[in-house]
Amino acid sequence: MRQADIKVCYPMEMDYVTDFPYSHMDRRPRKRAKLAREIPQTQTHSKAYSGIYYGQEVGSVTSFGTSRVLPDYAGLSLKGLAEKGSPPWRDDDKDGHYMFALGENLTSRYKILRKIGEGTFGQVLECWDREMREPVAIKVVRSIKKYREAAMVEVDVLQLLGKYDRNSSRCVQIRNWFDYRNHICIVFEMLGPSLYDFLRKNNYRPFPVDLVRELGRQLLECVAFVHDLRLIHTDLKPENILFVSSEYIKVPDLKATSRSPKEGTSYKRLPKSSTIKVIDFGSTAHEQQNHKNNYIVSTRHYRAPEVILGLGWSFPCDIWSIGCILVELCSGEALFQTHENLEHLAMMERVLGPIPQHLLNRADRQAQKYLRGGRLDWPEGAVSRESIKAVLKLPRLPNLVMQHVDHSAGDLIDLLQGLLRFDPYRRLTAQEALRHPFFTREHYKRF
Ligand SMILES: Nc1ncnc2c1ncn2[C@@H]1O[C@H](COP(=O)(O)OP(=O)(O)OP(=O)(O)O)[C@@H](O)[C@H]1O
């Protein structure tokens, strides 16, 4: 059973911690948080010159406690405010989040319509852009120095991606950015629900394999483009991949209906358009930075073995995440539902076979504690019987795919084995994966 709305936040200073106290919790929270970062200390922002806007502040300082979205008084007091007026100055909440009310202005250009999401970095608000007359998504970053600096790195990366994006790279487009009341605000094109939102709304029923192919192809195109610019996303996960449109159709779910015919026809949602874009370049790293074992990257379930073993990481860590994502889209469930390193490595071995000896031999000091006699200390080192059971429950990769996919299973298994190779040097690159028969075979239906 899933526990739907657990939000986990980690202090940025922590590193190499077990990322979730998992004893009485579902193995997967609704929004999977990244670890501490994971923000490389060496990163400095450059070009923080354009778009700076200091909103006009009026009114007195008011504190509104812990709730960030204030009551919607748009119909009351805002009526009295000039359309382009600024709301009164308020303190941020204790975590540095911006406090606002629906209907208020965020600078004179943007009107806040609703809150779409919240992440480690801040809140994402749907706003009406008065100048372009269209809705936009604005990430309002926490007013804390390290998040502000990381946001400027994200702005730089987004501007670089935008500069080279000739034929739609499938990366979210930045429209503008500004600094408002000590919050960096990044304005994005407005997109639809994430792949994770969609799976959740569908009760974690798998996507059809032809849709998985289409999503996988676009995702690899995006990552090939990002990697060509010598950038590594480092946080690919279903939450960070958004459908461009929110429209969907309902179709009968024949599998669910045949399982419980008495309950009548069961329906599942399919997107009207399969077009996706990748978001959240807040953790993106430059290839030339030193990614040895000084910090860890990725949200747990999508984290590559070289990151856990402290071998250093680079472009292949994105490819591993894509392998995990494709399995999840086919099965409906995250592949490695774990919150602990040794259990995670044991799960990888269960699904994919033994980790090559030469990789284990190079494990760093931190990771040595998961090994005994040169091998994984498993099941001896397991923290509980439940943990051993969770690992044993996992099928081998070919079986897992065949349980869920009705055609093209052979090609998909072969592709996944290439994306999920333990040795990062032997893992497929994004360009190689795009040439795989799973994507190129003529007779496959386009979704
Ligand atoms: N352009 C967009 N259009 C629509 N929704 C968006 C857009 N950008 C972000 N969102 C929503 O806001 C949420 C948070 O965005 P994002 O992942 O960029 O924030 P974050 O603080 O960097 O999160 P994380 O904790 O994963 O680092 C997303 O999961 C998504 O639901």
Tell me the per-residue pLDDT of 253-274, one tens digit each, with 9 for 90 and over.
877 666 666 666 688 899 999 9
Compute the mean pLDDT over every residue in the chain, rounded to the nearest whole number.
Answer: 83
* CATH superfamily name and code, 195-440: Transferase(Phosphotransferase) domain 1 (1.10.510.10)
Tell whether ipTM is more than 0.90: yes
- The predicted pLDDT at position 26 comes to 37
Mean pLDDT of 36-47: 37
Tell me the per-residue pLDDT of 406-443, one tens digit each, with 9 for 90 and over.
889 999 999 999 999 999 999 999 999 999 999 998 77
Tokens at 251, concatenated: 């179709």
Atom 20 of ligand 1: nearest residue by CA position = 119
The listed CATH number (1.20.58.110, 3.30.200.20, 3.40.50.970, 3.90.1150.10) that belongs to domain 22-27+45-189: 3.30.200.20
Q: How far is the CA of 137 from the centre of ligand 1 (A)?
A: 9
The binding-site residues of ligand 1, defined as CB within 6 angstroms of any ligand atom, are 33-34, 116-117, 119-122, 124, 137, 139, 172, 188-191, 194, 239-240, 242, 279-280, 282
Q: Is 235 a catalytic residue?
A: yes
Query: CA 99, CA 101: separation in Å to the nearest integer?
Result: 7
Lowest mean pLDDT among 78-92, 329-343, 393-407: 78-92
Would you say the CATH fold of 195-440 matches that of 22-27+45-189? no
Ligand 1: nearest atom to the Cα of 280:
18
Residue 87 sits at φ, ψ, to 5 deg, of: -70, 165
Mean pLDDT of 110-134: 95
Q: In sequence order, what DSSP letters do the residues of 237-272 get, joined into one string? A: -GGGEEES---EEEEE-HHHHHHSGGG---EEEEES
Q: How far is the CA of 50 from the centre of ligand 1 (A)?
A: 23
**Residue 410 φ/ψ region, left for φ over 0, alpha for ψ in the -120 to 50 degree band, beta for the rest:** alpha
Query: CA 229, CA 9: separation in Å to the nearest integer?
Result: 31
Q: Does residue 215 or residue 2 have the better pLDDT?
A: 215
Pocket test for ligand 1, best of 233, 280, 301 (most atoms within 8 A of CB): 280
- The predicted pLDDT at position 218 comes to 97
- The predicted pLDDT at position 4 comes to 32
Mean pLDDT of 51-68: 32
* pTM, full prediction: 0.84
Q: Does residue 1 or residue 108 have the better pLDDT?
A: 108
Q: Are 86 and 56 in contact (CB under 8 A)?
A: yes
Query: CA 372, CA 368: separation in Å to the nearest integer?
Result: 8
**What's the chain's Rg over C-alpha atoms?**
23
Q: Are 55 and 107 in contact (CB under 8 A)?
A: yes
Q: Is the pLDDT of residue 301 over 80?
A: yes
Q: Is the pLDDT of residue 56 over 80?
A: no
Atom 17 of ligand 1: nearest residue by CA position = 280
- The predicted pLDDT at position 45 comes to 37
313 confidence band (pLDDT: 50, 70, 90)? very high
67 confidence band (pLDDT: 50, 70, 90)? very low
Give the whole-number percent of the chain exceeding pLDDT 70.
Answer: 77
167 confidence band (pLDDT: 50, 70, 90)? confident
Selecting among 235, 280, 318, 411, the annotated active-site residue is 235
Query: CA 226, CA 233: separation in Å to the nearest integer?
Result: 7
DSSP alpha helix (H) spans, 170-253: 195-201, 209-228
- The predicted pLDDT at position 120 comes to 83
- The predicted pLDDT at position 85 comes to 81
Q: Are 276 and 242 in contact (CB under 8 A)?
A: yes
Instruction: List the chain domain ranges.
Output: 22-27+45-189, 195-440
- The predicted pLDDT at position 32 comes to 55
Q: Is the pLDDT of residue 293 over 80?
A: no
- The predicted pLDDT at position 267 comes to 86
